[in-house]
């Protein structure tokens, strides 16, 4: 929690609410412990963030997430920037280049005689800043054998 709040500060974002997700979000004991921890974090970093309690105003955590989605949909051009919470990549095969792929296992392309390596094309990396309009374009080539030996 502290790491996320501090990273937000570094990016110029002052968080006002901490939203708990999942089954533990309903735990009164967990909320009390986190509120005590959050009070220390607030004091140390001059923040005023508080734990969002679903019953405080009749909204649920799902309502808050949905409201964020609506806000994003209404302002796609200048909507909020985001920080990637995980890395996401797509597996693909690239034509083997000894200078780039040295030491990697090769995969023979029986259908065309080329040699390939299995790679990952990263769409996003952990903690990467993602602008309001985040889009990655990727060229794809699919080759298939035109006859089988069967």
The answer to whether 89 and 120 are in contact (CB under 8 A) is yes
Where does residue 104 fall: left (phi above 0), alpha (psi -120 to 50 degrees), or beta otherwise? beta
Q: Is the pLDDT of residue 113 over 90?
A: no
Identify the DSSP state of 98: T
Averaged confidence pLDDT in the chain: 80
What is the pLDDT, as a whole number, of residue 67? 60
What is the pLDDT, as a whole number, of residue 72? 64
Selection from 21-25, 64-68, 83-87, 101-105 with the highest mean pLDDT: 101-105
In this structure, is the dihedral angle defined by the CA atoms of residues 64, 15, 87 and 121, taken in order, positive or negative?
Answer: positive
The answer to whether 95 and 113 are in contact (CB under 8 A) is no
Q: What's the pLDDT tens digit per position in 58-70? A: 555 555 556 666 6
Q: What is the pTM of this model?
A: 0.42
Q: What's the pLDDT tens digit per position in 94-110? A: 899 999 999 999 998 87
Q: Express as a percent the part of the chain with pLDDT over 90.
A: 21
Helix (H, G, I), strand (E, B) or coil at 116: strand
Residue 125: alpha-carbon gap to chain centroid? 8
Contacts of 94 (CB under 8 A, 6+ apart): 101, 116, 117, 119
What is the pLDDT, as a whole number, of residue 68? 62
Q: At 28, is the pLDDT very low, low, confident or very high (cuts 50, 70, 90)?
A: confident
């Amino acid at each position: 929690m502290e790491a996320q709040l501090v990273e937000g500060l570094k990016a110029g974002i002052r968080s006002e609410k901490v939203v708990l997700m999942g089954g533990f979000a309903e735990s009164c004991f967990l909320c009390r412990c986190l509120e005590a921890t959050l009070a220390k974090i607030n004091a140390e970093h001059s923040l005023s963030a508080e734990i969002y309690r679903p019953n405080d105003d009749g909204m649920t955590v799902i309502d808050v997430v949905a409201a964020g989605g609506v806000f994003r949909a209404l302002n796609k051009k200048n909507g909020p920037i985001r920080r990637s919470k995980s890395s996401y990549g797509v597996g693909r095969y690239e034509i083997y280049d000894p200078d780039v792929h040295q030491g990697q296992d090769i995969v023979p392309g029986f259908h065309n005689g080329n040699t390939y390596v299995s790679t990952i094309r990263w769409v996003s990396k952990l903690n990467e800043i993602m602008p309001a309009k985040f889009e990655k374009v990727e060229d794809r080539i699919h080759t298939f054998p035109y006859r089988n030996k069967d």
